[in-house]
Amino acid sequence: MSFRKDFAWGEATSSYQIEGGAFTDGKGWDIWDVFCREKGKVFEGHTGDVACDHYYRFKEDVALMKELGIKAYRFSINWSRVFPNGYGKANELGVKFYHNLIDELINAGIEPFITLYHWELPYEVYKKGGWLNDEVIEWFSDYAAFIVKEFSGKVTKFFTFNEPQCFIGLGFVTGVHAPGLKAPIRDSFIMAHNVLKSHGLAVKKMRENAKQDILIGIAPTGSMSYPDSDKPEDIEAARTHLMSCNPDLSNWTWNVTWWSDPVILGEYPEDGLKLYKDYLPEIKKDDLKLISQPIDFYGQNIYNGNRIKMGVDGKSEVVKRYEGFPKTALDWPVTPECLYWGPYFLYERYKKPIYITENGLSCHDMVSSDGKVHDPNRITFVESYLKQLKKASENGVDIRGYFHWSLMDNFEWHSGYAERFGMIYVDYQTQKRIIKDSGYWYKNIIAENGENL
Ligand code: FCB
């Protein structure tokens, strides 16, 4: 089978990156609102205060999605828009915004996929210790239960966390993202464990509160590994490389298994337990039971990967990229193979249906004299990646959908508006949107269910 008949051809965004309305209608501050106000943290002092003004323009944006022909839309709910303090009384106007958005999507024939947490930690929760405070597990899972109670009459697909690797790693280990801390390594492991426990308790409470059967997953990220050749030893080397814990403690969150093994297999990986043993909090049996609540699918954000071969010493070896290796505007390598081998290895290990929850690139897009935005590099990139994904699907990997990052240009975290990831161009001075060439190209791919790839 190339792509399933009901393949979710989608686009993805997140709340802080597009909504704006940062202090509107009772929204509480989140850690990004605070971080962006600190000098020198975000490119040229950009903030998400207005972003794409989606809070006010969501109808126009859904109309554009319809124009693109997308079948599914992955967006995040801002926890602090719903619970300004993180818990307690819900903010009705915030809840109403998401109802309106969801209704608009459904009327346009687009299936909403909700991410509960795409890094929008309420500042009030942060002040109480955030992920370091065990109480966060109750607070997050209560928020998750509330969202499901509220929206599960209309929405059936949910992701708990987006990229725990990033929000713990960049937020608390290297400190380039909000809240911008370089916490002691031990603390980062406590936070990671609390994030996983929050996931587990959330899944449990979400099921208890659902109005109909819902499907739940998580959306981690990571650099994938792909073999240098089809030789079994290179494939084995790539598999081992992908599924090994990162020995570099200054960057330890960048690994697949530390996060995903507990969630799906119910245990932390042995190599990680050894590598990180001096820094780990107490891990109880019951914790793992909680963390491994059954989930329905596995999301994975995939942007690139490393070519791996079996070294002469029998260990996995990263193959150096040749000079002039293709790269995106953000200098990320272009490695389409990762969209075959990533899902292949993940499916082999976790045996869950897979959604590619993000994939895409930043380009130096601009409006041409004909008023259009020509982005051939984006088309080349997405086409080559999708071909690999199709091959994975043909070879039996259960791929349910693909969410391109992103629907429209938006606030790219500490890079501000300097990077453009969208299939829709946004002029931030006028908020005018222009569908890029890639958007029309994607529309055509969707219409043919990828048969024309
Ligand atoms: C991912 C994030 C997403 C976006 C893309 C480019 O790490 O989940 O919000 O910034 O990268």
In this structure, the residue with its CA closest to atom 10 of ligand 1 is: 412
14 located within any domain:
yes
Kindly report, residue by residue over 355-379, the tens digit of the pLDDT. Answer: 999 999 999 999 999 999 999 999 9
In angstroms, what is the C-alpha Rg of the chain?
Answer: 21
In this structure, the residue with its CA closest to atom 2 of ligand 1 is: 163
Secondary structure of residue 150 in the 3-state scheme = helix
216 located within any domain:
yes
453 located within any domain:
no
Query: Which of 120, 358, 412, 419 does the annotation list as catalytic?
Result: 358
Output the pLDDT for position 301: 98
Please state the atom number of ligand 1 nearest to the C-alpha of residue 162.
8
Output the pLDDT for position 170: 98
DSSP per position, 24-50: -TTPPPBHHHHHTTSTTSSGGG--SSS
pLDDT over threshold 80, residue 1: no
For ligand 1, is residue 412 a contact (CB within 6 Å)? yes
In this structure, the residue with its CA closest to atom 9 of ligand 1 is: 14
What are phi and psi for residue 221, nearest 5 degrees? -135, 180
Name 396's Cβ contacts closer than 8 Å, sequence gap at least 6.
none
Q: What is the CATH number of the domain that holds 65?
A: 3.20.20.80
Please state the atom number of ligand 1 nearest to the C-alpha of residue 330.
6
pLDDT over threshold 80, residue 252: yes
pLDDT category of residue 23 using cuts at 50, 70 and 90: very high
Pocket-testing residue among 358, 404, 411, 414, ligand 1, by greatest number of atoms within 8 A of Cβ:
358
pLDDT category of residue 217 using cuts at 50, 70 and 90: very high
Output the pLDDT for position 433: 98
Name 22's Cβ contacts closer than 8 Å, sequence gap at least 6.
33, 47, 48, 49, 50
For ligand 1, is residue 14 a contact (CB within 6 Å)? yes
Kindly report, residue by residue over 327-347, the tens digit of the pLDDT. Answer: 999 999 999 999 999 999 999
Output the pLDDT for position 286: 98
Output the pLDDT for position 84: 98
Pocket-testing residue among 381, 405, 410, 411, ligand 1, by greatest number of atoms within 8 A of Cβ:
405
Q: Residue 409 belongs to what domain range?
A: 8-447
107 located within any domain:
yes
For ligand 1, is residue 358 a contact (CB within 6 Å)? yes
For ligand 1, is residue 167 a contact (CB within 6 Å)? no
Question: How far is the centre of ligand 1, averaged over its atoms, from the C-alpha of 146 (Å)?
Answer: 26
Question: How far is the centre of ligand 1, averaged over its atoms, from the C-alpha of 417 (Å)?
Answer: 13
pLDDT category of residue 423 using cuts at 50, 70 and 90: very high
Output the pLDDT for position 21: 98
pLDDT over threshold 90, residue 284: yes
Question: How far is the centre of ligand 1, averaged over its atoms, from the C-alpha of 370 (Å)?
Answer: 30
State how far the Cα of 453 lies from the Cα of 11, in Å rounded to an integer: 18
Instruction: Say if strands 305-310 and 424-427 run parallel, antiparallel, or are unpaired.
Output: unpaired
214: number of CA atoms within 13 Å, CB side? Answer: 31
Pocket-testing residue among 355, 412, 414, 420, ligand 1, by greatest number of atoms within 8 A of Cβ:
412
- Is 135 one of the catalytic residues? no
State the Cα angle at 165 between 161 and 167, rounded to 5°: 70
399 located within any domain:
yes
pLDDT over threshold 90, residue 66: yes
Name 290's Cβ contacts closer than 8 Å, sequence gap at least 6.
197, 200, 201, 204
State how far the Cα of 356 lies from the Cα of 399, in Å rounded to an integer: 8
- Is 111 one of the catalytic residues? no
pLDDT category of residue 105 using cuts at 50, 70 and 90: very high
pLDDT category of residue 430 using cuts at 50, 70 and 90: very high
- Report how far Cα 437 is from the mean position of its chain's Cα atoms: 24
264 located within any domain:
yes
State how far the Cα of 60 lies from the Cα of 106, in Å rounded to an integer: 14
2 located within any domain:
no
pLDDT over threshold 90, residue 51: yes
User: What is the total count of domains within the chain?
Assistant: 1
275 located within any domain:
yes
Across the chain, mean pLDDT equals 98
Output the pLDDT for position 108: 99
Output the pLDDT for position 248: 97
